[in-house]
Amino acid sequence: MNIILNGKPAEIAGGTLAATVTELGYGEKRIATAVNGRFVPIREREALQLGEGDRVEILTPRHGG
């Protein structure tokens, strides 16, 4: 299945957001997620089935002013 991951096309097996996070290698990292512009809390990743063309954002802590 094709999604847009952090602004770039990506091919994933499909399934839940939780499974995708693990598949992509973010499983152990401190991240926050959003799908199609909406925040998806950790507790909801398991229940969220990704669809074709979904825009997934996976963000991490960074410096800021």
Residues that bind another protein (CB under 8 A): 6-7, 24-26, 29-34, 37-39, 41-42, 57-65
Beta strands in 6-48 (DSSP E): 8-11, 32-35, 38-40
Q: For the CA atoms of 33, 37, 57, 34, what is the dihedral angle to 10 degrees?
A: 10
User: Quick one: 2 or 29, whose CB is closer to another protein?
Assistant: 29
CB-nearer residue toward another protein: 37 or 52: 37
**Shortest Å distance, C-beta 49 to another protein:** 20
Q: Residue 17: which H helix or E strand, with range?
A: helix 17-23
- In the complex with another protein, the residue whose CB is nearer, 30 or 52, is 30
